[in-house]
Amino acid sequence: MIHLPRVLVSTDIGGTDPDDFQSMVHLLLYADVLDIEGLLSSPYGDGRASDIHAVIGAYAADYPALSTHASYPPPGALRAVVKQGALEVAPDAGFSDPTEGSEWIVACARREDPRPLNVLVWGGIDDLAQALHDAPDIAESIVVHYIGGPNKTFGVDAYDYVETHHRDVTLIESNNTYRGFFVGAADDDLSPARFADAHAAGRGALGDFFARQLPTVKMGDTPTVTWVLRGSQRPDRPSWGGRYVPIWDGRKARIAHPATRADVVEAFGVVELLAPLPADWTEEHHASLFFDGRTQGPFPEAVVEGGHLRFRLSPRDARAMDYEIRSTHPALAGQRGSFTSALPGRERWSAPSSAYRDWWCDDMSPELAIEGWPGAATIAGWRGEFMRDFADRLTRTTARS
C-alpha cells in the first residue's frame, strides 16, 4: 500500500495576493500524490472558502481528463474538506474563538495515523494558533510549513502566540526563502514572465484559470508543497522547497517611543513599541501604528500594558522604517519615530536556540541570497526541475489517448 503524504492547507486565497490561486492550481494538479485532508480559508483579507471552491470548479472541469493519467480524488471529495476559518486576524492574545477551520485542524491532527499531518500555511497563521490553543496535544502530530514575511506582518499577534507558547511544534518558517520560486530565474520558457503563456494558457480549465490570475508566475506559497513532493522532508537537507537552519535567539525586541534609527530590531522578527500611557486615557480612546509607509492594513492597535501603550508589529524588510501614531487622544495623535530593521549577524543566526524543539528558518548565508533575499538560492537552484515537472502536469488536462 502506498502511503501518500498527508496535507492540510490554510490559505488567504482571494485576499491580498492572487498568487494563492496559482498555488492552488498547482496543488490540485498533484492531488494524485498527496492525501489532501483540508483546504482552509484563513486571514488576512477578503478571501473566503468560495474562492477555494472556484479553483475546484476548474478542477472538476478537467477531472475526466486528469483521471485518464492517474488516480485523482473526485471533486466532491475535495469540496468536502473545504472549511471556513477566521474572517479576521486574531486579537492581541493571538487567539479568540474556534472556527470551522481551526476545529478541522484539530480533528485531522487527532486521527489515528502514523503519518504526520503537513500543515501548509499560505496566509495568516491564525487558525493554526487557535487550534494549538484549543488542543495543544496536536503539536506532536503536525509538521508546519509557514510562509511568513508579509503574512507575519498581517497576522503578527497569532504568530507571536505560537512562537511564545508552542515551541514544541515542528515548524519551518520561510520569511525569504520562498522567493526563490520567482526571483533569479533564467529567461526561458519556464521563467515567471513566460511560463503562463508557454505552458498554462490553453491547458484545460485549470491552465486557463492559472493564466488569468497574474501576468507573471509568482506562486510564493508553493514551496510548502514542493518541499513535501521532492526531498527527504528534513529541513536541513536540499529539497524543492528549500533548505533551512535551526531557529536562533533574540528575534523579539521591545523599544521605547519615540524610537530612532539607532534602535535596531530584527527584520521579520517581532517588535513591541512602548509609548507612555496618557494619564487621562480611557477605554474610549484608541491608537494605531502606521509604519514603513504601509497603506494596507491591518495596522497594529495599541494595547494598555502597565503604564504604557504597546504596539506589536513585524517588519517585513531590512531597512530604516519611519512610523506615525494615529490616535483619538490628542497627546498621541501624529507622534512620529523611526527604527532600523536589519538581518541578524552570523554570530546570532548560526547559533541554534535551545528553547525550541524543532523550529527552522531561512539560511542567512550571504552566498544563498538572491537580490538580497536570504535563502532564496536554496529553492531557485531547483527551479528548472520543479517548473518543468509542473508544465508536464498541466498537460494532464488533455486526456490520455
Q: How confident is the model over 333-356, as pLDDT tens digits?
A: 999 999 999 999 999 999 999 999
Residue type, 346: R
Q: For residue 34, which phi and psi values (nearest 5 degrees)? A: -130, 145
Q: Identify the H or E element spanning 63.
A: helix 49-66
Work out the number of other CB atoms within 10 angstroms of the CB of residue 301.
Answer: 16
Per-residue model confidence as pLDDT tens digits over 57-71: 999 999 999 999 999
d(CA 312, CA 272): 4
Query: Which domains are seen in the chain, by residue range?
Result: 6-248+350-397 (3.90.245.10), 252-342 (2.60.40.10)
Task: State the pLDDT at residue 41.
Answer: 97
Query: For residue 151, what pLDDT is reported?
Result: 95
Distance CA 145, CA 379 (A): 14
What percent of the chain shows pLDDT beyond 90? Answer: 94
Question: Is the per-residue pLDDT at 1 higher than 60?
Answer: no
Residue 85: pLDDT band (50, 70, 90) is very high
Q: Name which of 119, 125, 183, 185 is nearest 150 in CA terms.
A: 125
Q: What is the pLDDT of residues 217-233, one digit of tens each?
A: 999 999 999 999 998 88
Q: What is the mean pLDDT of the chain?
A: 96
Is the dihedral angle over the CA atoms 177, 217, 40, 114 positive or is it negative? negative
> How many Å apart are CA 87 and CA 127, to the nearest integer?
10
Closest CA to 289 of 267, 259, 266, 317: 259
- d(CA 186, CA 27) in angstroms, rounded, equals 24
Average pLDDT over residues 62-88: 98
| Higher-confidence position of 388 and 185 | 388
Instruction: Check whether 246 has a pLDDT greater than 90.
Output: yes
Question: What does the block give as the cell for 376?
Answer: 532564496
CA separation for the pair 385, 247 (Å, rounded): 28
Bridge pairing between strands 244-246 and 6-11: unpaired
Cα 394 to Cα 25: distance, rounded to the nearest angstrom = 9
C-alpha cell of residue 63: 477531472
Please give the average per-residue pLDDT across 383-393, as a whole number: 97
